[in-house]
Copies of this chain bind each other. A is one copy, B any other.
Amino acid sequence: MHKSQPTNLTELTKAEIAVWLNSFDTVLTDCDGVLWHEGVAIDGVPEAIALLKSLGKEVYFVTNNGIKTSGEIWQTATTIGYDIDESRILAPIKAIAEYLQARNFRKKVYIVGSEAISNGLAAVGIESFGPGPEILQGKLNDYLAQQVATQDTDDVGAVVVGFDEHFTFAKMLKASNYICSNSECLFMTTNLDTVHRYPAFRIPGTGALLAGLETCVERKALQFGKPNPEICRALIRSEKIVPQRTLMIGDVCEIDMLFGHKCGFQTLLVGSGPSSDYEFNVVLKNPNVNEEYIPDFVVPSLGHITKLI
């Protein structure tokens, strides 16, 4: 049953914590904002993850990061004290590469996004191009004639959109022409995060870049990040994950908590992310909030777990 107010783990007795701990076998945890921030481990969290593992919990990392391959994420994690197998990382670039590989994809991919997408595709033998700056110089008509009219659209079988600080009008133009000149052209995105809320900034997310492109091409992209429950369907089907015995931990309500609810997991919101002020003081206090954003449990940081057990 859905609870309208989350339970604060810090207010539970040791006995209640023990009951809670026995209610799940598997932990899926978001990475940035829960495990680390800007490459630095959040205080006490490596110990908390180690503790959960020592209690027999199966731990998976599930991220929407579209600027690092799962190998790079694994490297960050390992360097700062997390002991995890790379295969336990669920990440969009890997999911996109697997999706294309399963379809025996043989064309090229145009990327509006990072070098990491290109590397992730190369790892499964898929050719791609696009990352890095692409600026419209000179007049629009000349650019159209020289850069867009000469695009070999038959050769490109997919457009992948990820976070791209080099996003430009020129990239939108090329991507729309690949997508629209061929109805078979796949259109995929790492995630739909519209904005990254830092206390001092609001950083447009992949979902914002994508919204512009989707508006222009009048088509929706397939998305390979949370909250799409498809990204852990294989683990559920193979019974490695039993939804009612699984806990999803995250720092963003509309991504992590929604994902947990969609998958039928228990959910735990932590307060250690860059947008935590917003999550706790705006989202959770909004009377009209989507009830799938409300976590079952909250805790200031996953680091608290070691003190509570």
User: Chain A: residues with CB nearer than 8 A to chain B?
Assistant: 133, 135-136, 140, 143-144, 148-149, 164-170, 172-173, 176-177, 180, 194-195, 200-205, 207-218
User: Contact between A208 and B212 (Cβ–Cβ < 8 Å)?
Assistant: yes
User: Can you offer 18 A-B residue contacts whose CB atoms are under 8 A?
Assistant: A133-B135, A140-B203, A164-B169, A165-B169, A165-B170, A167-B172, A169-B209, A172-B209, A173-B204, A176-B204, A177-B201, A194-B218, A204-B212, A205-B216, A208-B213, A210-B212, A211-B211, A212-B212
- Considering the chains assembled together, what is the distance between the CA atoms of A107 and B45 in angstroms? 47
Minimum Cβ distance to chain B for residue A58 (Å): 34
| B215 and A194 form a contact (CB under 8 A) | yes
Q: Assess the B177–A204 pair: CB atoms within 8 A.
A: no
Copy number of this protein in the oligomer?
2
Is B194 a contact partner of A216 (Cβ separation < 8 A)? yes
* CA A214 to CA B177, docked complex, whole Å: 23
Complex Cα gap A215–B201 (Å): 15
Contact of A204 among B133, B164, B166, B216 (CB under 8 A): B216
Which one of A164, A202, A212 has the greatest number of beta carbons of chain B within 10 Å? Answer: A212
Let me know if A167 and B165 touch, CB within 8 A.
no
Residues of B within 8 A of A149 (CB): 200-201
In Å, the complex CA distance between A148 and B201 comes to 8
A176-B195 Cα distance, complex, nearest whole Å: 10
Residues of chain B within 8 A of A204, CB atoms compared: 169, 172-173, 176, 212-213, 216
Question: Contacting A211 at CB < 8 Å: which of B133, B169, B212?
Answer: B212
Apart from the given pairs A133-B135, A208-B215, A212-B215, 9 other A-B contacts in the complex at a CB distance below 8 Å: A143-B165, A166-B168, A168-B168, A176-B204, A177-B201, A180-B202, A195-B217, A211-B215, A212-B212
Q: Report the nearest B residue to A213, measured CB to CB.
A: B208
Q: Which residues of B contact A217 (CB under 8 A)?
A: 195, 202
Known: A135-B133, A205-B216, A216-B204. A165 touches B180 (CB 8 A): no
How far apart are A31's CB and chain B's nearest CB, in angstroms?
18
Give the distance in Å from the alpha carbon of A213 to the alpha carbon of B195 in the complex. Answer: 10
Interfacial chain B residues near A164, Cβ < 8 Å: 169
Contacts of A173 in B (CB 8 A): 201, 203-204
Q: Are B167 and A195 in contact (CB under 8 A)?
A: no
Given A148-B201, A149-B200, A205-B216, answer yes or no on A169-B168 (Cβ-Cβ < 8 Å): yes
Q: Which residue of B lies closest to A133 (CB)?
A: B135
Which residues of the other chain, B, contact A216 by a CB distance below 8 angstroms? 194-195, 202, 204-205, 208
Complex Cα gap A195–B216 (Å): 5
Asked if B177 contacts A202 (CB within 8 A), the reply is yes
A165 CB to nearest B CB, Å: 5
Shortest CB–CB separation between residue A254 and chain B, in angstroms?
11
How far, in Å, is A124 (CB) from chain B's closest CB?
28
Specify which chain B residues have a CB less than 8 angstroms from the CB of A148 in the assembled complex. 201
Q: Contact between B215 and A202 (Cβ–Cβ < 8 Å)?
A: no
